[in-house]
Chains A and B, each alone.
Chain A
């Protein structure tokens, strides 16, 4: 070490100059319960299974989302629509059971991209914490949107996204 390094003082002076600069800098803190940070417009949170305009479920249990899922978080059981259930399910086949394991899900959005029926979307809702692992397997009760409380997914369904979905060559899972 040189003489100036050995007496420490120049380095300490440089150091206190830096900390003083930070002393007058605006803090990055967001005062959480009062102020909440904005989500990104393309934030991928908890899934929703959409209904169509008449309130019938769009999902036909084709299983493409389950195939696309890299974390293998999605399972489903298909069933055939009975007579008189046309107002409940849009097409002849529907998912009797549709489960997403939120502990396995990595929120990549490939299920949404794979869906040919515009049925599953990721939303800006956060998956809440819970006490047991079984609580994190979300069934249709939590996933399908309520008829009287629709969930807005227009942010995820922009023109670009629709064009992208049309051109399957661009897709990650061909």
Chain B
């Protein structure tokens, strides 16, 4: 029993560390990707190729003066970034980071916990995430922050509906809510055991899910809550020092987690083509699978940045139109079409 707890604690710590380090280097990657796309070179002074830049930024965040406005509600002002960070980190526990490792005859699953309602859990945690932004914006007692907070809550609630409906069609195909089972359904692929990733069965659902993921992470083109041109800094206008850092960091962690979730749901998770034809032992395949998942996640994060440095921000009415009049009906039609196919062709 104690061995089990020890293994879970170690796994949780590793996931925690990997999440934070990835988020840290996402800030570096964001600046580099932005630079390359604008024909610049980006940060290159701190360490070789600027690789120590995230550390320098972290030190800067901790050393900065911390300002809490007099007129703010101090308790909520402090709790806002904490909630944002906490919910961002919580979603990582149900993602299957790899298949099982067999050490001394015992099988260790590389997933902190496999609850049978994994997708619902992620939805629940992500919807709490909006409280971090809303509480922070409201507690600042500043009209720009409040506007940013209101926008964030309206946007996230609107897009959660379309996202949920896209997932309903998805669950109709897979028949399970557990992320591990969903990943196992996509085992193999190209090779002897012919199989498709879920994106082939649910292309429209995937598009809806992807667009909603952008909106949930508050990434461009849906970054209206922080909209520098209109709202100064949006919900984090009044924040300084590491509390601002927490908000920015939570955004990158959300990006990492949503890339992982999208990979697991639609792109086969830790599965990769020809995985059963290589003739390697179980542990090696597992490690290769983890690498494959890592590459998928890295591409996902790159895609988030790629879009950010390409597409301009939506106007607020365009955002609401797209969510309610575009994605919501499309998601419902997707459910109907999926149901039709399941009924008559399976």
Contacts and interface: CB of A to CB of B under 8 A. Distances in A.
Interface of A: 7-9, 12, 15-16, 18-20, 22-29, 31
A8 B312 CA distance: 12
A31 B37 CA distance: 18
A16 B36 contact: no
Nearest to A29: B41
Contacts of A7: 326
Nearest to B318: A8
A26 B36 CA distance: 8
Interface residues of B, number: 17
B59 interface: no
Contacts of B36: 22-24, 27
A2 B322 CA distance: 15
B6 interface: no
A27 B39 contact: yes
Nearest to A24: B36
Given A12-B310, A19-B309, A19-B310, A27 B37 contact: no
A19 B41 contact: no
11 contacts: A16-B310, A19-B37, A23-B37, A26-B39, A27-B36, A27-B40, A28-B39, A28-B40, A29-B39, A29-B40, A31-B41
Contacts, number: 39
B71 to A, nearest CB: 40
Interface in B135-170: none
B38 interface: yes
Contacts of A16: 306-307, 310
Contacts of B322: 8
A34 to B, nearest CB: 11
A18 to B, nearest CB: 7
B288 to A, nearest CB: 28
Contacts of B38: 22
Interface string B54-71: 000000000000000000
B40 A19 contact: no
Given A8-B322, A23-B37, A28-B39, 20 more contacts: A12-B310, A12-B311, A15-B311, A16-B306, A16-B310, A19-B37, A19-B309, A19-B310, A22-B36, A22-B37, A22-B39, A23-B33, A23-B36, A27-B39, A27-B41, A28-B40, A29-B39, A29-B41, A31-B41, A31-B44
Contacts of B311: 12, 15
Contacts of B306: 16, 19-20
Best-buried of A9, A26, A29 by chain B (most CB within 10 Å): A29
B232 interface: no
Contacts of A20: 306
A101 to B, nearest CB: 37
Contacts of B39: 22, 25-29
- When A and B form their complex, which 7 residue pairs have the shortest distance between CB atoms, in order from nearest? A15-B310, A19-B310, A19-B37, A29-B41, A27-B41, A23-B36, A16-B310
Contacts of A8: 322
A16 B307 CA distance: 7
B10 interface: no
A27 to B, nearest CB: 5
